[in-house]
Structure 1
Amino acid sequence: MPRTKTNALADDLDEGDAATSSGKPNYSVPAVEKALDIIEYLAAEGVPMTRAQLARALNRQPPELFRMLTCLESRGYLWRDSGSNAYALTLKLFELSRTHSPYEGLLRVAEPHMRALAAQLRESLHLSMLHGDQVMVIAQEESPKPFRLSVEVGTLHSVAGTTSGRVLLAHLPDDEVAALLKRDATHRQLSAAGRQTLRERLARIRTQGYEWSEGEWFESGIDLGVPIGSPQSRVKAALVMATLRRKGEGPTLADVLPALQACAQAIGAAAGIIKGDTT
């Protein structure tokens, strides 16, 4: 009897349902895993690769990848160069991620609020979110001052070693905090006393609703961070003002905290992740 697509899928599911050595069921689907191996490897390498190159890299036989590569190409996930027959990722995954990304709406509504506040305070602002085990800067508005702090959009930073990261950690459930800190390089380098100090610091941030730090990266630097979102919201972000204290002069907490909190509230309300006035 010929092996139909339905039979093939059933075979894949039967293989995946086999128990592992630990006695727990393994629900892997070999065909799906093969496709994901190809996509993830091409994404990691960042250069086109032939079927033979992919087979060697993934420890598979070239004929084994033929149908999968053909399928991914026909669905628009891969592009094949007619000269070299090398495969590369298209922009389809990026387009799909943008279609349903909850962050697009946040960025869209945050931009005018951040621009207005940067002009009002004459200080730089950046917006950050968790990205895997780190914090990613997803938006920035620079101060109009000739000398200002700037953080590049798209850069990744430690959750324990940054104002943004600590603000986000302070507003996460304890089990998520523990898991993130376990994988954080900055946290691993802390002594037992340093880790206790960090726990106390996170508790203080959670209670007071902001984080003020001076001289963390260099002597004259000041960071003030507040959260965007609520314990119930799926999207959480940190809004941070970054500035320099020059010749002993700089903003005080009373000068800037109310405006920063109002901006965070307005962004969260406009994005629909917290209740509030969106006007």
Structure 2
Amino acid sequence: MTDKLDDEKYRAPALSKGLDILELLAGESRGKTQVEIAKTLGRTTSEIFRMLMVLRQRGYVELSEDGDRYAMTTKMFEIAHKHPPIRRLTAIAGEEMQRLADAINQSLHLAILHSGKVLVIAQVDCQDNNITSVRLGAQIPLFDTASGRVLAAWMEERALASLLEVAQGSEERRQDFVDGLAEVREKGYCGNASLTIEGVQNISAPIRDFSGKVIAALTIPFVKRLSGTSIKSADESREALLEVCRSISRQLGASVHSD
């Protein structure tokens, strides 16, 4: 009873409406109109209009070129990067990622889990003219990624169940994802053909924090170039990736012997 009264006492309706809008738009790549937002959230258009004006003034949402649809900006992503753990992770990983990209002539991206999806928080390219890269800030369905398998493989049972509950995808993809986690744990990495781009082999390895917990996945979308500029094989690239992940993990305080 006390908790319920406390909930009523500390309600902030305006803040709740603003957060509802942000959470809705976060899952919409094309954005939504004011009417669509109001209908989805069960609010009046006048309520939504006031919230949208404030969010737009603060730089959290923007209008499309035709002035009809609202979409999220990258401001939330930028704020997340100011959070010390993520900032430290990207600061430590950045130079190591670029050195590896140059050494194997492949692009790399660093990802974490966010709201049941894989969020790309850092990305580097090699010097080759032909590259395969993932957009910084991209949110990718969990079941479609090697990164997702690495991030989920060492989770405790309860945490994994919670992740699977919010992740989106077909039952077939979900089952295939779960079935593959044991192999990822056994090998210490994930290597499989891309589920989104033909001809790309994704190679992903875990990065651990001081407690040994997997907090990020570093991934090479490996491409074999017919031009002859693929200076390292997929196996050589994988071994180099694993060594870099161990190095980054050590700098974050993880034991060299974490497994």
* Shift in CA distance, 200/144, structure 1 to aligned 2, threshold 3 Å: same
State the 1:213 CA deviation. Answer: 0.9
Aligned residues of 2:96 and 2:244 also touching (Cα < 8 A): yes
Q: Whose radius of gyration is greater, 1 or 2? A: 1
Residue pairs, 1:105-116, within 5 angstroms: 105-116=88-99
Whole-Å Cα distance in 2 between the matches of residues 246 and 254 of structure 1? Answer: 15
- Cα pair distance change 1:210/1:231, threshold 3 Å: farther
Whether the 8 Å CA contact 2:142–2:168 is kept in 1: the answer is: no
Distance apart, 1:265 and its partner CA: 1.5
Question: For 2:172, what is the secondary structure of its paired residue?
Answer: coil
Counterpart in the other structure of 1:158: 141
Describe the shift of the 1:232–1:147 C-alpha distance in structure 2 as closer, same or farther (beyond 3 A).
Answer: same
Structure 2 residue runs of 5 or longer lacking an equivalent are: 26-30, 61-74
Native 8 Å contact 1:172 1:231 kept in 2: no
Aligned to 2:255: 275
Q: Could you say which residue in structure 2 is the equivalent of 1:190?
A: 172
For 1:265, the equivalent position in structure 2 comes to: 246
* Structure 1 unpaired stretches of 5+: 1-12, 19-26, 63-68, 70-77, 79-85
C-alpha separation between the residues in 2 aligned to 1:98 and 1:126?
A: 15
Letter in 2 for 1:114: M
Shift of the alpha carbon at 1:235? 6.4
Are 2:112 and 2:118, in contact at CA under 8 Å, matched by a contact in 1? yes
Q: 1:171 aligns to what?
A: 154
How far does residue 216 in structure 1 lie from its aligned partner after superposition? 2.9
Contact 1:212 1:223 in 2 (8 A): yes
1:220·1:246 contact (CA, 8 Å) conserved in 2? no
Q: CA shift at 1:261, angstroms?
A: 1.0
- RMSD (CA atoms): 3.7
TM-score (norm 1): 0.66
* Aligned equivalent of 2:125: 142
- Matched residue of 1:185: which SS? coil
Relative to 1, partners in 2 of residues 1:139 and 1:30: Cα closer, same or farther, differing over 3 Å? same
Shift of 1:242: 1.1
The match for 2:67 is none
Superposed CA deviations along residues 212-253 of structure 1, whole A, max 9, x for unmatched, are 112533331111000001593566000001122345986544
Structure 1, 243-252 or 111-120: larger mean CA deviation: 243-252
1:145 is paired with a residue whose SS is: coil
SS in 2 for 1:217: coil
- 94, 103, 106: which is aligned to 2:86? 103
**Residues 1:132 and 1:231: Cα distance change in structure 2 (over 3 Å):** farther
| Matched residue type, 1:254 | D
Change (3 A) 1:126 1:145: same
TM-score using structure 2 length? 0.70
Aligned to 1:243: 222
2:192 aligned residue:
213
In the alignment, which of 235, 240, 243 is matched to residue 254 of structure 1? 235
